[in-house]
Amino acid sequence: MTDPGASLPPVTGAWRAGDPPGDRLWFTASRALALEAGAILPGYTLAYETWGTLNSDASNAVLIEHALTGDSHAAGPAGPGHPSPGWWDGLIGPGKAFDTDELFVVAPNVLGGCQGSTGPSSLAPDGEAWGSRFPILTVRDQVKAESALADALGIERWAAVAGGSMGGMRALEWAATHPERVASALVLASTARASADQIAWAAPQLHAIRGDLSWRGGDYYTAAEGPYRGLGVARRIAHVTYRGEPELETRFANRPQRNENPLAGGRFAIESYLDHHADKLVHRFDAGSYVVLTESMNTHDVGRDRGGVAAALARVTARTVVAAVDSDRLYPPYQSHEIASAIGGEATVLTSPYGHDSFLIETDQIAALVKTLLG
């Protein structure tokens, strides 16, 4: 049986200065960031990538927002600095849905992440890793940081902001917080606020990481070993929610993993599949960022301090396309219908067996939505 993360360094998956930069660029803020929960982040950096060319009036800029364990590498091949191909590579590029012959596409690594942006594994002003001292972030804080990036790039108004899952939360928050800066928005497999069910699924993931003896209260960055076992368990739990039950049954049923016998202590095929995804994540992602970003999703509520969700979404002036997936058991379609109804439209429901992950897989269906979005 595999041991995901065996022999890994303590900071699993965090990008560090000296690592290959890949296609990353960096924006470092010139001022502190006042956070929604009351703390002050004295400074921060966002890693980002771009494709295409910004036109003379900066009217062709598109912001792409990644999901929980994504990063700025939304397009392009795997290579030095990028362990995986771009997660929306089928949608971004010359002649693709987000046509970089016409558009300037920007994809930042979210604040709190671990792929070049400031997060728990980053150095605080005292030269030590932030670790447990890293402040609580909300989706609204992340959008606030991204608005400073837009200012630095000279982009007053995005032609489109698009994302799925956590990326959809940020796209929606952009449209509600800065209606004058968003011409159109694509919100995929997401929600206007976290539900009890979503928070409940996140709870055992957070407990798994914090229950790992190597977590050390979040201050493991100079230790001999990081909490990769807990992170692996968290990924196993999460990945079940990302896929549709009919797909898993069709692919795996109760079949044993090849050359293994569950009656002799071996694994079922579905267990091997989950082990594989856990192993992949702990090699490219930091547990501290997983905790910070999961909690930012838990506290997501576009209506907070705005009179509720309906009042907040009434602020949206962007042409908005909202889409759900019929087999998504983590972000069920009713949540997309609620968003679309509050904005004054109707949600599209994609048909796919792949559950929540369909927003990463169903390229043709999403390309059609982008075509509608961009006119």
Q: What is the DSSP string of 154-174?
A: T-SSBSEEEEETHHHHHHHHH
Place of tokens 């060319």: 53
What is the spatial distance between Cα 363 and Cα 176, in angstroms, rounded to a whole number?
27
What is the spatial distance between Cα 142 and Cα 336, in angstroms, rounded to a whole number?
22
Catalytic site residue from 117, 122, 165, 184: 165
Residue 147: active-site member: no
For residue 283, give the DSSP letter: T
4 half-sphere exposure, CB direction, 13 A CA radius? 27
What is the spatial distance between Cα 281 and Cα 12, in angstroms, rounded to a whole number?
9
C-alpha of 300 from chain center:
13
For residue 98, give the DSSP letter: E
Catalytic site residue from 82, 279, 356, 358: 356
Question: Of 218, 193, 167, nearest to 366 (Cα)?
Answer: 167
C-alpha distance from residue 80 to each of 23, 84, 125, 278 (Å): 9, 10, 29, 22
| 285-296 CB burial, b ≥16 within 10 A, e <16 | bbbbbbbbbbbb
Residue 300: active-site member: no
Residue 207: active-site member: no
Catalytic site residue from 327, 328, 336, 357: 328
Pairing state of beta strands 61-65 and 160-164? parallel
Active site residues: 165, 328, 356
